[in-house]
Chains A and B, each alone.
Chain A
Amino acid sequence: MIIYDYLIKALHEEYEQIRIIKESKRGRVLLLRHKQSKTPYIFRHYHGNCDVYRKLLGISCPNLPQIMEAAEKDGMAAVLEEYIQGDSLSHLLEGALFTPAEARAVIRQLCSALWVLHSMGAVHRDIKPENVILRGSTAVLIDFDAARIFKNENSSDTLILGTMGYAAPEQYGISQTDERADIYSIGVLLNIMLTGKHPSKELAGGKLGHVVQKCTRINPKKRYHNVLHLMEVL
């Protein structure tokens, strides 16, 4: 609680708001800049917990943004994280599709990011082009607002989270969400990168098409068991 207040106060006093990146009923995402150093940061302020962000505090991974601080108070979460300078995948997809080699490279890096999350017992649950930033040739997975720590004893998730089309069926309450939900989303993302369309509309061809198929099986047990398996295939 102390750190939440301390962070909000410091951000208010020593940081300037550049712009609002995202705003919803759940909360806001702001681009701030440290007045003195001019370093930009992303500030997430939303209803919910920040368990996943807190777990990432001590972690450094090139495919994940660095989390500077994460705090909660009264059901509100405040997260300060590294601002990733680059183009979002959604922006890039407006221009052109990815070649199989390019798509494979991006997906492999996203798998690395997911492996970090999954190894912490977290599921991202909102993998989509808008949440992938390409910093040069490095793909960075952002926005863990929908992420949660999965617990095997839960019969199902209490909230429907994720983005339509990218979210796995189990995220809509069919069953407990686990890391295989992210694999489903990765499969959809891969297909979008290659074809511009959801796999149900047009499945990518070749070997990667088979990968997409396996990633997006309705039954999670028939998907790749984990991202390492998926990376192996890729």
Chain B
Amino acid sequence: MSKTCKNCGAQLPDEASFCPHCTGNQTEKTVVKPPRLWRKKAVTAALCLVLIAGLILAFVLTHRSKTYEGGAYLTYTDKDGEYELLAAFHPRDIEANRPVGEKSVSLSTDEASNMTVMLGVYHNGEIADPDEFFAKVESCTLEASPNENEALILSEPTYNTNFLPAARESDITYTGASGTNELCWTLHMKNGDTIRLRQTFEVIPLVHQVYTPEDTKLDTLEDLNALLARINEEVPEDTIVDIYLPPVTYTGNLTILSRAVNLYGNTEDSGRTVFAGSLSVNTHYPSNVMLFNLDFEGNGGIGLSATASVYMGGCSFTGWDIGAVALDGGMIGVERCVFKYNGIGFKYDSSVYSSFNSVFPDCTIADNDIGVQFARLQGTITIDFLNSVFSGNRIDIDNQAGYPIDTSTAVFQ
């Protein structure tokens, strides 16, 4: 026994692994472990990678930004469910959940006009709360892409209570040369989604047929009626008719029926064009009847009654029981007009109209019993008496209908 204990020094057999005296180990013990379970670990790691990749893919697929392309209508789904989005040109279409993808209007190439275009949102079959939906919207834009012609001018889409239940509304300014434009509503959602709705707006340029005293006999009411009859017979419906009148006084009543024409009074020094009888407008095509620089001088009765759209500028009404009245189906837009010495200068007595003028600018309403009377008028669009002057009337504005008006810039003398 030549081996001694490493611990206690006791003599041990040469092959001893252990000192029984002090219990000390005499051999180094090798710690052994099974090899790493590479295969299982590899498979597990691969499965984990596949799982993670799958989860990422699922996450991406379920959360990736989506683009919803539609015409005037599409459905959009997010965590709150399905929304219906529709584009139209009139609130009544929004209200009826009736998307309108195309609209055509006619306009003279040298004229400009306006149109509204709007967006409606439905949720669960009901008109959605615009605030609730647009809280999810990062931006809402409307762009026009002209097809050859000039682009429309578009106002920024806004929430406008005048066009309820539309959630967003934009004003289109167009000319007769605007041609066809594609309107594209783009909504960038906060969740990254993009929604696009498209409409087409077409402006058909109108051809003007002009009649002047130089080339047409227009001296009497009979002449005028004869011309109107001829126009009804001969002139295509989509042609705008402009009649320039001489400085004469037309006696007797005139009716512009079916077909719209524009009457221009004389503005030369030689005198003004006067209508001493009533004018009735009851047209249905192609557009508004325009009256410019005409003086309606009466002795009782009604100066102008309209069951269609009339726009007049620089006209005057004096001596009538009612200077001008918009009846059912009619709307009269006025600008720079004078209503003086009438029972009622201007009267709204209409609950149905196809166009609307919300501004009553630069008019003089003086010495009437009632300056302006709102007998009947439906709607919520405020009429602004922009810079108009009221003076000497017994009642300046008789708002029986309780219609919203703005007289903040009007002058009451």
Q: Which residues of chain A have a CB within 8 Å of any CB of chain B?
A: 2-3, 6-7, 10-11, 14-15, 34, 36-37, 39, 57-61, 66-70, 80, 111-112, 115-116, 119, 227-228, 231-233
Contacts and interface: CB of A to CB of B under 8 A. Distances in A.
Contacts, number: 72
Contact of B37 (A11, A59, A228): A228
A60 B30 contact: yes
A119 B34 CA distance: 9
Contacts of A119: 32
B16 A69 contact: yes
A57 B12 contact: no
Contacts of B31: 60-61
B33 A112 contact: yes
B29 interface: yes
Interface of B: 1, 12-18, 20-23, 25, 27-35, 37, 39-40
Contacts of A15: 20
A34 B15 contact: no
Given A3-B13, A6-B12, A111-B34, 4 more contacts: A58-B29, A60-B32, A68-B25, A69-B16
Contacts of A111: 34
A176 B33 CA distance: 27
Given A80-B18, A232-B40, A59 B23 contact: no
B369 to A, nearest CB: 99
A58 B28 contact: yes
Contacts of B21: 10, 14
A201 B1 CA distance: 57
B17 A68 contact: yes
A69 B20 CA distance: 9
Nearest to A67: B17
A7 B20 contact: yes
Contacts of B28: 58
Contacts of B18: 68-69, 80
B35 A228 contact: yes
Given A6-B13, A14-B20, A57 B27 contact: yes
A59 B30 contact: yes
B13 A59 contact: no
| A-B pairs, 3 with minimum CB distance | A10-B20, A60-B29, A232-B40
Contact of A2 (B1, B25, B34): B1
